[in-house]
Amino acid sequence: MKYLILLLAASPAFCDGLRVEPDDIVLAGTGATQRLLLTVERGGDEDHAAGCRLVSDNPAVVAVQDFTAVAGMPGEAAIRATCAGLHTTATIKVTAATAAPGISFTRDLLSILTTKGCNNSSCHGSPVGKAGFKLSLYGSDPAADHRMIAVDRRIHRTEPASSLLLRKPSFQLPHGGGQILTLQSDEYNTIRQWIAEGATADTNAPRMTRLDLYPRERILAGENARQPIVVIGRLSDGTTRDLTGEVRYTVLDESVIGPPSGAVIAARRRGLTVLTARARGLTATAQFAVIERRAGAGYPRVEANNLIDDFVFAKLRRVNITPFPLSDDQVFLRRVFLDTIGLLPNADETKTFLADAAPDKRAHLIDNLLDRDAYATHWLTKFEDWFRNSQYYSQGRTNGSYKRWLRDLIAGDRPYDEAVREMLTATGDTTVRPAGNFWHPAIDFMLKTFEVSKATPTVTRLFLGQRIECAECHNHPLENLTQDDFYGMAAFFARTKVKHGYAQYRRIWYDTREGEVLHPVTKQPVTPRLLDGTTPSLSGDATRREILAEWITRTQQQQFARTTVNRIWAEYFTLGIVEPADDFRSTNRPSHPELLDRLALHFISSGFRFKALHRLILNSRTYQLAAHTADRPGGTDPLERALFARYEPRKLPAEVLLDSISQVTGVPQQFNGYPVGTSPKELIASNGATHFLTTFGFPRRDVMEPRPDGPSLGQALLMMNNEAVRGKLAEESSVLTAVLNQHQDNRAAVNELYLRALMRPPTERQSAALISFLDAEREAGRTRRRSFENLLWAILNSKEFQLNQ
Amino acid sequence: MTHRRDFLRAGGAAFAGVTLPQLLAGTEAGGEVSCIVFFQSGGACQHDLFDPKPDAPPEIRGSFRPIPTAVPGVHFSELLPRCAQSFKEFSVIRSVYSREAIHEKAKQYIFSGSRPNNAFKHPVYGSVVAREFGGKNGLPPFVVIPNRDISADAGFLGPAYDPFITGDPAKKDFSVQDLTQPLGVGLEEAQGRARLLAALDEEIRQVEKSKLVEGMDHFYQKAFDLISSPAAKQAFNLGAEPDALRDAYGRTTAGQGALLARRLIEAGVRLVTIFHGGYDTHSDNDNSNKKLYPVFDQAFSTLLTDLKQRGLLDKTLVFALGEFGRTPEINHSGGRDHWPGVFSVAVAGSGVPGGQVIGSSDAHGAAPKDRPVSIEDLGATLYKKLGIDFHKEYRTVGRPVKINSEGTPIRELSA
């Protein structure tokens, strides 16, 4: 069912209002302060309310000075904000001081190490440290850092200023990182005093449990736009702490906004970027966009087809980008065929659809396509890429049965969670239990053994969108992901075994009751531990793989669903909402977090069925937008792509391009050992691919990488000169024979060819060029047939043909 | 009469002026030294090549006798009489070792200097060279003879840096795959349809400004350039070589491939790999090698002589190597299996001293005895000779990747 909303009509997202951030402030002790941020929301736009007032109803508890709350005596105060006729109230609590007097290691020292960059991933926070001095990444492990720092070699308790800890960063001794501290600076003095006070660890101090960065999203309009930011840390004792000046900030793209200066962000150039704040091993991110000006009254009303459009269009409005118009029927027809079934519509399908006047004909066509066999054949190629159904791993012996199993999954729209459980827990002979082929890429071909280190990252990446392969060798440089996490997960596969049968190609999977993974450093058996840090109960009959499969598809259902819908989304929009599509991490912010969550819920509530997801995406106006129009070129603004303002043109995948050439020319493909007309999608041995297929990026499926999608010299040469194209043109049985017989009129013949290839007649200018080309060919003495071969060559070599747009 | 190149400019008028900074990054400058890799695909036997072990037991030394070389005291296998004679032109490293024993992985390793990993696919040397220097004289920078191979892959750099594939130059009527106009399509006819193509693309070019379309344009322009380039036509035209020289190289894929490689380097290609197959002799070592190794012997020695006579050897680095060696002990099928433990590599040109043996293997040819040389060292040497900073980093999957992780250029190969 289609429902409409008008973007400017009232919807919850567009309530005017005022907001004080952070919320839930609990100041610890008299004198504690917290910067506040006031945001005014009007007509869907949010902005920093600079000239507004904040008043405390109980200044003895909380006084407000210049957007900063200052704690007085314990109690509670209401802060009232007033701004241009809008009001709001926030409550701030004050508790008695919780910290011991004096310099605190976890609070003060770690914040210096963080803000000065000492513990970042390229200095002492790198997995191996620097020059023998290793700190935890952004202070994630205060106890370890204290052990590393508070040793006699580094600190001099009686003469603090002689400590290595001060002499190196202040460059009194050579320091690879240069001068970090100036003598007698606040930071220098703090460290010196901490040493003088005994260099103690306050490991009993409350732990930081969460970091919040405000604003979470902000559009900066105009090159002079400024935005204050606030970071608040939430501690395990329930108090909060202003960390705005104590975190390490990084900006993903510094051409868009500058790094914070005095806790203020300044706009630089049009674009979209992410600000990350890190402290105590915690991360918070905020999305910033810079635009010239905000949407005004002239911003058009845009019709939304479904929930996808609500989120996408709301965001586009905030950055003042009008979505491109709805695509023409011809464009939509070609696109939806290519995206769902990977084939061009035939002449009848084209004519019928274009002539259909029904308002819901697109929705009908989508249903029709998703019910076709070709839908499964087409999406199968993507599933085979993801699951690496490669001859490289199975020597071709069970590629076919796995292929069939995957195809049935897609064609039958099987609940994906159930199918994944079947793969993750598969046992038995893979020739009769094809789901077990999932594990083949984890077999060491020479040793014939199952390698847990290969299985582990595959499973987390495919089903949870988490790339943990780097943690096999070193701790993750950006996230708090360690070798312990990697081997904790790997331990779930410790009891998975494979037997090689006849000629080594028949494989039988089974689980044993014993066997452990050894930690590469400690050489001790590792207890299975999930990525959330918990260890499930291992007693009972369930195998470790079964326990893991339950955790992934049930306990982690939402992340499993997010990962899956994001992968599908990326197929349609060339970018994931999280990009790269299988790289979810705290430092990689989704472009539309709420949309991703909604899509995940939709997928879960549909029973993990792909067709429901396809239908939702394909029916959205976002999917159906034009890529460009005559008066609005596409591809000029990076924001368009990042925020899905248009359909992003992409090259036809290898198999689709070859099938399309066969369709247009009417000359089927012939692969060795397969019946005439077999689609390249149906080839079983991926290594048997032809020059054509590999040149256009058909993968060996030996590694888990997206297909290469760029153009190349080889592709251009191939399209121009290779037998795969030119042979089909010259073929007596090609469509040219029939078309030329049927149409004595060149114009009609040209139109027919255009309709076959591009679902539309040529434009006037193209028509003129085509006709004058045919005239010139005749004058040059070439036959009508030969001229048309050259003409069709030009159509097949045209960008429009080789693109899906 | 229109100049040959003009027609494509005219035909592809719209292609002109296309810029694509990343793809066009290559310049004419840099890359004074080119490289030819003669690859013994499948893994050649160290004992039957440059490192005979006459004193080892029969099941290890095999059937072939050692013969003296131009350098007193150094012996090669009797299968390499010509290489033995021309040993003054190249060095042999007898102590190279790999750490991968499967063809695919070992090849990816030896062509990139980085062990294959689970996270990303490393670009091979030729792709890095293509990325650093770009093409010259309208020719592709990186060419593979005769066929595509898993170890000739740009990996995360993307297909723009994949090699150009020639097809088999030993075939009768050899013409480079996809490079020539279809049979019977003349210049004027090709011009006409190129013009039509440009006209058909005109509208999308007006409305679609993405990098993708710009990139497609760029490569169509390059393709037209290549097809019409007299230098390219000449470079790929083996028929221009005197029959005597073609015979000297051997009328085999390897021989004609080596000759084609020389022509391409001469014309401006920066790195050429010749894949010579058949070395994976798991059975019947004797008979296979008796046929195969003389082909290599002839092609490789002629290549070095030819390069030298033309004054090209000083600026061309030449390698002969396989992805690993073969087991010291002959198996029950009379063959030898995969052996990454130690193998021999021949290196010549660009200042590499001739007649030098670097390192040695143990008594059975099973492991390096002294001066072990790693795959990474070979890579660092290649980059250094070609003028590429081998500490350089690229980025992929959000992390820096060194083009050479831990190698040291082999000092004995410096002049």
Nearest CA in chain B to A648: B210
In this structure, the dihedral spanned by the alpha carbons of residues A373, A375, A378 and A384, taken in order and rounded to 10 degrees, is -90
- Among A682-696, B1-15, B380-394, the minimum mean pLDDT is found in B1-15
Token duo for residue A276: 């990350």
Residues A444-468 pLDDT 10s: 766 678 989 889 999 999 999 998 8
A585 touches chain B (CB under 8 A): no
- Among A26-40, A576-590, A709-723, B2-16, the minimum mean pLDDT is found in B2-16
- Among A233-242, A340-349, A497-506, the minimum mean pLDDT is found in A497-506
Token duo for residue A599: 């899509």
Q: DSSP strand E in A579-711: where? A: 650-651
Token duo for residue A750: 């040209």
In this structure, the dihedral spanned by the alpha carbons of residues A438, A444, A450 and A455, taken in order and rounded to 10 degrees, is -50
**Residues forming a β-bridge with A232:** A212, A242
**With a CB-CB cutoff of 8 Å, which residues 688-707 of chain A face chain B?**
691, 694-695, 697, 700, 702-705
| Spacing of C-alpha A176 from chain mean position | 36
Q: What is the 3-state secondary structure (H, E, C) of B177-199?
A: CCCCCCCCCCHHHHHHHHHHHHH
Contact A666, B239 (CB under 8 A): no
The values of phi and psi at residue B307, to 5°, are -60, -40
Contact A302, A230 (CB under 8 A): no
**With a CB-CB cutoff of 8 Å, which residues 478-497 of chain A face chain B?**
478
How is domain A1-98 classified at the CATH fold level?
Immunoglobulin-like (2.60.40)
A301 touches chain B (CB under 8 A): no
Residue of B143, B149, B193 to mutate for A, most A C-beta atoms under 10 A: B193
Most confident segment among A454-458, A466-470, A708-712, A764-768:
A764-768
Handedness of CA A764, A770, A774, A780 (dihedral sign): positive
* Residue B301 pLDDT: 97
Sequence spans of domains, chain B: 33-177+249-413
Q: What is the DSSP string of A230-258?
A: EEEEEETTS-EEE-TTSSEEEES-TTTBP
Q: What share of chain B in percent tops pLDDT 70?
A: 90
pLDDT > 80? residue A481 = no
Arithmetic mean of pLDDT over chain B: 88
Nearest CA in chain A to B207: A633
pLDDT > 70? residue A301 = yes
* Residue A344 pLDDT: 98
pLDDT > 80? residue A688 = no
ipTM of the complex: 0.85
Q: Over the range A210-247, which residues count as b (16 or more CB within 10 Å of their CB) and which as e?
A: ebbbbbeebbbbeeebebbbbbbbbbeeebbbbbbebb
Sequence spans of domains, chain A: 1-98, 105-196, 329-374+558-642, 415-555, 650-804
pLDDT > 60? residue A545 = yes
Q: How far is CA A380 from CA A199, A612, A791, B398, in A?
A: 62, 17, 34, 29
What is the pLDDT averaged over residues B376-398?
90
pLDDT > 80? residue A425 = yes
Q: Please give the Cα distance from B380 to B411 (Å, whole number).
A: 11
The values of phi and psi at residue A737, to 5°, are -55, -50
Nearest CA in chain A to B104: A392
The values of phi and psi at residue A416, to 5°, are -65, -35
* Residue A446 pLDDT: 67
Q: Please give the Cα distance from A407 to A414 (Å, whole number).
A: 10
Measured between CA atoms, how close is B144 to chain A, in angstroms? 12
Token duo for residue B300: 């490789």
Q: For residue B182, give the nearest of A725, A362, A89, A207 by alpha carbon.
A: A725
**Residues forming a β-bridge with A65:** A68
pLDDT > 90? residue A472 = no
Contact A40, A83 (CB under 8 A): yes
Handedness of CA A137, A138, A140, A145 (dihedral sign): positive
Measured between CA atoms, how close is A477 to chain B, in angstroms? 9
Q: How many helices (H) and strands (E) does chain A have?
A: 30, 26
pLDDT > 50? residue B14 = no
- The count of other CB atoms within 10 Å of the CB of residue A459 is 26
* Residue A327 pLDDT: 97
pLDDT > 50? residue A330 = yes
Q: Which residue among A634, A636, A794 places its CB closest to the CB of B193?
A: A794
State whether A633 and B206 contact (CB < 8 Å): yes
In this structure, the dihedral spanned by the alpha carbons of residues A483, A485, A490 and A495, taken in order and rounded to 10 degrees, is 120
What is the pLDDT averaged over residues A713-739?
91
State whether A780 and B192 contact (CB < 8 Å): yes
Architecture of domain B33-177+249-413: 3-Layer(aba) Sandwich (3.40)
The identity of residue A388, as a single letter, is R
- The count of other CB atoms within 10 Å of the CB of residue A152 is 9
A640 touches chain B (CB under 8 A): no
The values of phi and psi at residue B61, to 5°, are -70, -25
Token duo for residue A625: 């937008």
Residues B51-84 pLDDT 10s: 999 999 999 999 999 999 999 999 999 999 999 9
Q: Please, is A785 exposed, middle or buried when counting C-beta atoms within 10 Å of its C-beta (0-12, 13-18, 19+)?
A: middle
What is the pLDDT averaged over residues A142-154?
88
The values of phi and psi at residue B90, to 5°, are -145, 165
Residues 6+ away with beta carbon under 8 Å from B283: B331, B333, B334, B335
Q: At what angle do helices A784-797 and A746-758 cross, to 10 degrees?
A: 30
Measured between CA atoms, how close is B149 to chain A, in angstroms? 10
Arithmetic mean of pLDDT over chain A: 90
State whether B397 and A580 contact (CB < 8 Å): yes
State whether B203 and A766 contact (CB < 8 Å): yes
- Stated pTM of the model: 0.84
Q: Which residue among A708, A715, A769 places its CB closest to the CB of B199?
A: A769
Instruction: Tokens 């996808």: give the residue.
Output: A308
The DSSP bridge pattern shows strands A45-48 and A37-42 to be antiparallel
pLDDT band at A38 (very low <50, low <70, confident <90, very high): very high
Measured between CA atoms, how close is A521 to chain B, in angstroms? 20
Q: How far is CA A341 from CA A334, A369, A375, A380, A681, in A?
A: 11, 7, 4, 10, 11
Residues B75-95 pLDDT 10s: 999 999 999 999 999 999 999
Residue of B23, B153, B178, B393 to mutate for A, most A C-beta atoms under 10 A: B178
Token duo for residue A230: 């606030």
